[in-house]
């Protein structure tokens, strides 16, 4: 049920995005100019991802493969911080952890929640908003993280990369024969269509309540999943007796 609600809310945000930034339904008096993205309003600009006020980083930004192997230890049982992977974001179920030393070593890819995360190896082009979990979080491997310094860029860029031109751009820089992938440098050199700051701010304020509800629903779902995983084995083993509970 919550999943359907979240899907509907995100669809509404995407529809607003397309109305404002694809169909440009905001005024009858818009002057258009030609661009690599077709005809765009003259007050829009095209900029490189790397020039935006935004941190773009990944797991390997923390050191060489040898130093990562030496300093990062993964755990399957709860520990100091979550090690957030593409598969966890897909399932909204987080069960891989790192200890405090590993977390501190991975300081260049710490997560706080709200970052845009894009898979850049294997499942190239999967796009997520990082949830806010109940422990510290750090970025897993084979994904990159975007943390805009301006709030009004977050949902605009999330939809750009997940639903709009960004998907075609990501697929265009994808390489690798055995395993599809792209690198940060090529990604930073891709272009994005950028509306005026005032319009971006209006869009953020319009869709932010929708994404807040989505995030809260995900938190509640995660809590229910944890409770299920705790109670189900006890029910199956008979350790927990519910025969006296009246429905």
CATH code of the domain made up of 2-237 = 3.90.220.20
Q: pLDDT digits over 56-107, tens only?
A: 999 999 999 999 999 999 999 999 999 999 999 998 889 999 999 999 999 9
Chain segment 210-237, per-residue pLDDT in tens: 999 998 887 776 666 666 666 667 667 7
Q: What is the pLDDT of residue 246?
A: 58
Query: Model-level pTM?
Result: 0.87
The one-character DSSP state at 240 is S
Domain edges within the chain: 2-237
**Range 99-104 contact pairs with CB under 8 angstroms and sequence separation of 24 or more:** 99/73, 99/75, 101/71, 101/73, 102/71, 102/72, 102/73, 102/74, 102/138, 103/136, 103/138
- Find out whether 86 and 126 touch, Cβ atoms under 8 Å: yes
């Amino acid at each position: 049920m919550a999943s359907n609600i979240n899907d509907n809310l995100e669809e509404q945000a995407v529809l607003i995005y397309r109305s404002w930034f694809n169909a440009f339904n905001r005024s009858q008096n818009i002057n258009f100019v030609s661009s690599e993205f077709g005809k765009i309003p003259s007050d829009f600009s095209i900029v490189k991802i790397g020039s935006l006020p935004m941190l773009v980083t990944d797991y390997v930004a923390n050191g060489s493969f040898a130093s990562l192997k030496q300093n990062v230890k993964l755990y399957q049982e709860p520990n100091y911080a979550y090690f957030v992977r593409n598969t966890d974001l897909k399932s909204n179920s987080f069960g891989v952890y790192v200890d405090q030393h590993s977390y501190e070593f991975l300081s260049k890819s710490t997560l706080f929640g709200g970052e845009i995360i894009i898979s850049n190896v294997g499942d190239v082009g999967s796009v997520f908003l990082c949830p806010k979990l109940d422990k510290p979080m750090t970025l897993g491997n084979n994904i990159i993280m975007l943390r805009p310094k301006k709030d009004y860029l977050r949902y605009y860029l999330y939809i750009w990369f997940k639903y709009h031109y960004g998907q075609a751009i990501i697929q265009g820089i994808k390489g690798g024969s055995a395993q599809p992938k792209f690198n940060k440098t090529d990604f930073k050199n891709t272009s994005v269509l950028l509306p005026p700051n005032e319009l971006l701010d209006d869009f953020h304020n319009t869709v932010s309540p929708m994404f807040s509800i989505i995030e809260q629903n995900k938190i509640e779902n995660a809590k229910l999943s944890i409770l299920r995983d705790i109670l189900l084995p006890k029910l199956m083993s008979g350790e927990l007796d519910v025969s006296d509970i009246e429905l």
